[in-house]
Amino acid sequence: MLLLLTAAAQAATLTGFAALPADTFIPGPTSGQLIKAANGRHPPWVDQQPVQGFSALVKGGADSYFVLSDNGFGTRDNSADFLLSIYHIYPDFRTAAGGSGTIQVGNTIHLSDPAAYLPYPVTRTDRQLTGADLDPESFRRGSDGSFWIGEEFNPSLLHFSTGGLLLAPPFKLSGLNSVGNPSNAPANLPRSRGFEGMALSADGMWLYPMLEGALENTPEDREAGLNIYAFSIEEEIFVNSNAGNPSFRYKLDQGATAIGDFTMFSETCGLVIERDSGERDKALLKKVYKIDLEQLDEDGFLIKTLVADLLNINDPDDLDQDGNVIFSFPFWTIEGLVVLNATTLGIVNDNNYPVGQARDNSGTQPDNNEFILIEVDPLWD
């Protein structure tokens, strides 16, 4: 059993930095045909797909990681030519001991539904899935190497093979539908507020998908908090089948608008990225909190303990090479989090290519995909 430490958090320290250039592409069908020029980039990209929009992160083998793309360019209407993908990446972190600070993209797994498990028509005749079909926002790897993905357009859990093939119909909760969902079901959740985070239990038996927004039919929606559900991987069923009966509830800070990710590091303890919707100098709240599923406040919400303020990170070795000893991660969306050991977290941004602009105010440079390592106070002893 882990002994949890609850002392006040000290400022985190940047111990590793790597970046993938914004203009990184892989071969594929022409993309960006339905979006406008931004930050000096002029789509479409002929016979290319941008490697962008990292919405979730899990550890791979050795020094590699898997990152999940989101739906592409932000909406169903503009992302029908973006292929949903899982990228196998290899960061060479710049640390105090050296390193190039670069990221190499290895194998790409494109998601598909050849058996037609999705209960609505998809965009492509070859049934490769696009950003008009799904909005994948969270994922975990099962013990067999398969992928469980949390989806936002039609909030559900999706099970994909190691090669990206959908293995079963979506696993849905009764009474949970987002605005603009592909099934045209009556909605009780704002658009893009589905399963943004999803933790995997330490024993690999349970998934804990977490909504990004509050259900709209609850009294004082914001005060109702964000719902976390429990899903049995072995039985392939939610513990409570109705969306109005979550297993846990999480309350955002004042000023926060969403969570970015949720991951577990012990039997009962996990971390949540909490954020506002600002970027660059308008970013005011980007934090990592620790929660314990066995510790609730008097109102039934999970008790939170601050682990890191991502806008105030010590950088004594200037690993991002900006000339400053304080590092900030001021991106609009920060959506990937992995616990590497008791004191080291890995975090990636979603760069929202080509519109994200947290690092540059000239209107000419979209954000890179950045991957940072930070040292925090021990999460366990």
Q: What is the pLDDT of residues 143-159, one digit of tens each?
A: 999 999 999 988 999 99
Alpha-carbon span 71 to 83, nearest angstrom: 8
9-13, 70-74, 101-105: segment of lowest average pLDDT: 9-13
* Per-residue pLDDT tens digits for 40-52: 999 999 999 999 9
Is it the case that residue 2 has pLDDT exceeding 70?
no
Confidence of residue 127 (pLDDT cuts 50, 70, 90): very high
Q: How far is CA 189 from the centre of its chain?
A: 18
DSSP 8-class letter at 31: B
* Per-residue pLDDT tens digits for 196-244: 999 999 999 999 999 998 887 654 445 678 999 999 999 999 998 788 8
Amino acid letter, residue 151 = E
Is it the case that residue 290 has pLDDT exceeding 60?
yes
Handedness of CA 249, 253, 254, 255 (dihedral sign): negative
Q: How far is CA 211 from the centre of its chain?
A: 12
The answer to whether 318 and 324 are in contact (CB under 8 A) is yes
